[in-house]
Amino acid sequence: MRLKRLVFFFCLFAHITLVAQETQPESKQINIVYGANFTKDEAQFPGASIFSKDDERQVQFEHQGADLWCDIAIFYTQENKLKAIGNIRLQQGDSIELNSGKIDYDGNTKIAKAWENVDLTNGQMTLTTDTLYFNREKQESFYRSGGKVVDSANVLTSRIGTYFMTPKKYQFLDSVHIDNEQYTLDSERLDYYTTSKNAYMYGPSTIVGEDYKIYCERGFYDTKIERGYGIKNTRIDYDDRIIEGDSLYFDKISEFASATNNIQITDTINSGVIRAHYAEVYKALDSLFATKRAVSVNLVEQDSLYIHGDTLMVTGQPESRILRAFKNAKFYKTDLSGKCDSIHFAEKTGITQLITNPILWNVENQITGDSIHLISDLETEKLDSLKVLENAFIISFDTIGKQGYNQAKGKDLFGKFIENELKIIDLVKNTEVIYYMYNDDQELIGIDKTICSKIRLVMANNDIEDITFFVNPDGDIFPDKDLPVESRKLKGFVWRGDERILTKDDIFDEDDNNITLVKIRGIENPIDIDAEEQERRKNENDPVNQVSQSKATKPKEVKVPKAQIP
- Arithmetic mean of pLDDT over the chain: 86
State the pLDDT confidence band at 506, using cuts at 50, 70 and 90: very high
For the cut 70, the answer to whether the pLDDT of residue 493 exceeds it is yes
State the pLDDT confidence band at 11, using cuts at 50, 70 and 90: very low
Nearest to 108 by CA among 140, 48, 64: 64
What does the alpha-carbon distance between residue 219 and residue 217 come to, in Å, rounded to a whole number? 7
Give the per-residue pLDDT at 380.
80
Give the per-residue pLDDT at 405.
94
**Tens-place pLDDT, residues 188-234:** 999 999 888 999 999 999 999 988 999 999 999 999 999 999 988 89
For the cut 90, the answer to whether the pLDDT of residue 3 exceeds it is no
What does the alpha-carbon distance between residue 282 and residue 316 come to, in Å, rounded to a whole number? 11
Q: What integer is the mean pLDDT of 495-519?
A: 92
Q: What integer is the mean pLDDT of 156-179?
A: 92
**Residues in Cβ contact with 539 at an 8 Å cutoff, skipping those fewer than 6 apart:** 545
Nearest to 430 by CA among 455, 407, 453, 412: 453
What does the alpha-carbon distance between residue 36 and residue 306 come to, in Å, rounded to a whole number? 85
For the cut 50, the answer to whether the pLDDT of residue 156 exceeds it is yes
For residue 537, the surrounding DSSP H or E stretch is helix 529-541
Give the per-residue pLDDT at 346.
92
Measured CA to CA in angstroms, residue 196 lies from 36, 187, 226, 405, 506 at distances of 43, 19, 13, 72, 50
Is residue 423 within 8 A of residue 456, CB to CB? The reply is no
**Tens-place pLDDT, residues 30-69:** 999 999 899 999 889 999 999 999 998 999 999 998 999 9
Q: Where does 130-279 have alpha helices with state H?
A: none
Nearest to 415 by CA among 371, 383, 448, 437: 383
User: 107-114: long-range contacts (C-beta < 8 A, 24 or more apart)?
Assistant: 107/28, 107/29, 107/30, 107/63, 107/80, 107/81, 107/82, 108/28, 108/80, 108/81, 109/135, 109/137, 110/28, 110/63, 110/64, 110/135, 110/136, 110/137, 111/135, 111/136, 111/137, 112/136, 114/88, 114/90
For the cut 60, the answer to whether the pLDDT of residue 565 exceeds it is no
Give the per-residue pLDDT at 536.
73
**Tens-place pLDDT, residues 479-489:** 988 999 889 99
Is residue 440 within 8 A of residue 431, CB to CB? The reply is no
For residue 359, the surrounding DSSP H or E stretch is strand 359-362
Bridging pattern class, strands 66-70 and 59-63 = antiparallel
Looking at the DSSP bridge assignments, the partners of residue 201 are 190, 219
Give the per-residue pLDDT at 195.
86
Give the per-residue pLDDT at 394.
95
For the cut 60, the answer to whether the pLDDT of residue 552 exceeds it is no
State the pLDDT confidence band at 314, using cuts at 50, 70 and 90: very high
What does the alpha-carbon distance between residue 145 and residue 170 come to, in Å, rounded to a whole number? 15
Is residue 144 within 8 A of residue 160, CB to CB? The reply is yes
For the cut 80, the answer to whether the pLDDT of residue 431 exceeds it is yes
The two domains 29-117 and 348-509 share their CATH topology (first three levels equal): yes
For the cut 80, the answer to whether the pLDDT of residue 12 exceeds it is no
State the pLDDT confidence band at 425, using cuts at 50, 70 and 90: very high
Measured from the Cβ of residue 347, the count of other Cβ atoms closer than 10 Å reads 21
For the full predicted model, state whether its pTM sits above 0.75.
Answer: yes
Q: What integer is the mean pLDDT of 237-251?
A: 91
State the pLDDT confidence band at 526, using cuts at 50, 70 and 90: low
For the cut 60, the answer to whether the pLDDT of residue 78 exceeds it is yes
Measured from the Cβ of residue 207, the count of other Cβ atoms closer than 10 Å reads 26
Give the per-residue pLDDT at 153.
86
Measured CA to CA in angstroms, residue 239 lies from 132, 211, 242, 268 at distances of 42, 6, 8, 9
What does the alpha-carbon distance between residue 532 and residue 542 come to, in Å, rounded to a whole number? 15
Give the per-residue pLDDT at 410.
94
For the cut 70, the answer to whether the pLDDT of residue 543 exceeds it is no
Bigger pLDDT: 273 vs 526:
273
What does the alpha-carbon distance between residue 391 and residue 494 come to, in Å, rounded to a whole number? 12
Encoded amino acid at 366, one letter: Q
**Residues in Cβ contact with 402 at an 8 Å cutoff, skipping those fewer than 6 apart:** none
For the cut 70, the answer to whether the pLDDT of residue 252 exceeds it is yes
Per the document, the length of the chain is 566
Delimit the domains of the chain by residue range.
29-117, 348-509
Q: What integer is the mean pLDDT of 370-394?
A: 91
Q: What integer is the mean pLDDT of 318-344?
A: 92
Looking at the DSSP bridge assignments, the partners of residue 418 are 421
What does the alpha-carbon distance between residue 216 and residue 227 come to, in Å, rounded to a whole number? 14
At the topology level of CATH, where does 348-509 sit? lipopolysaccharide transport protein A fold (2.60.450)
When mean pLDDT is compared over 168-172, 388-392, 437-441, 545-549, the highest value belongs to 388-392
Q: What integer is the mean pLDDT of 379-385?
A: 85
At the topology level of CATH, where does 29-117 sit? lipopolysaccharide transport protein A fold (2.60.450)
For the cut 80, the answer to whether the pLDDT of residue 462 exceeds it is no
**Tens-place pLDDT, residues 20-29:** 333 334 558 9
Give the per-residue pLDDT at 540.
67
Looking at the DSSP bridge assignments, the partners of residue 492 are none
Q: What integer is the mean pLDDT of 362-380?
A: 91
SS3 528: coil
